Amino acid sequence: MAARATRQQIVDAADELFYGHGYAQTSFADIAAAVNISRGNFYYHFKTKDEILDAVIEKRLEDREWLLARWDETSDSPAARIACFIRIVIVNQAKIMAYGCPVGTLTAELAKLEHPSKNKANAIMALFRDWLIRQFIDLGHEARAEDYALHVLGWSQGVATLAQAFKDEEYITREVEKILGWLDGLVPGRAAKT
């Protein structure tokens, strides 16, 4: 098998396993079993476990960049784009209820490990923040763009955490509706509503 393909399989499997079981708790044996290669073969592609983590973080970053770029292309208003972001908690409902937010839980874990790559993981969170800031600027809220962006991002993290703890679909739906209402009030030319 081509090195590229195997490497890709390793990264994909590690991504899933890190999300489902956590980074520290996922062993080489787990990843090797998922990809159906030997533990030894592993080290041809990655010299250390940290290298795999870096590759996973980079993959996640690229995945999210691609997703945001798609929303930029397909939605024609900033409010519609922000709504896309808000609705990921519904789109990914099942996984979020099982494992929480992949970005939030990874940054939390790496912070506790004081892992060298924690800043790289935080960059994914920053990617969302900066994208949201741009949307709120486009929406005409330049002065409060960062405030609003962090509000939405924090909202998503809170919903993911509680969705995981309580497995309550109704809660997710209600929260999405509430924040979409809030967002609606920020669209220029609309009356603000509570």
Partner DNA sequence: GTCTATACGGAGATAGAC
Partner DNA sequence: GTCTATCTCCGTATAGAC
Interface with its own copies (CB under 8 A)? 20-22, 24-25, 98-100, 104-105, 107-109, 111-113, 122, 125-126, 129, 147, 150-151, 153-159, 161-162, 164-166, 168, 171, 174-175, 178, 185, 192, 194
Selection from its own copies, DNA, none that 40 binds (CB < 5 to 8 A by kind) is DNA
C-alpha to C-alpha distance for 168 and 150, rounded to whole angstroms? 24
Residue 48 — φ and ψ, nearest 5°?
A: -140, 165
Selection from DNA, its own copies, none that 94 binds (CB < 5 to 8 A by kind) is none
C-alpha to C-alpha distance for 3 and 165, rounded to whole angstroms? 40
Contact by Cβ (8 Å): 30, 39 = no
Of residues 36 through 55, those in contact with DNA by CB under 7 A are 36-45, 47-50
Interface pick for DNA out of 21, 27, 142, 167 (rule CB under 7 A): 27
The type of residue at 153 is L
DSSP for 100-139, please give it: --HHHHHHHHHHHHT-TTHHHHHHHHHHHHHHHHHHHHHT
Size of the site for DNA (CB under 7 A): 23
Residue 3 in the binding site for DNA (CB under 7 A): yes
179-184 long-range contacts (CB < 8 A, ≥24 apart) are 179/86, 179/152, 179/155, 180/83, 180/86, 183/79, 183/82, 183/83, 183/86, 183/152, 184/79
Selection from its own copies, DNA, none that 93 binds (CB < 5 to 8 A by kind) is none
Interface pick for DNA out of 13, 17, 26, 97 (rule CB under 7 A): 26
Instruction: Give min distance, CB of 6 to its own copies, in A.
Output: 26
Give the binding site for DNA (CB under 7 A).
1-3, 6, 26-30, 36-45, 47-50
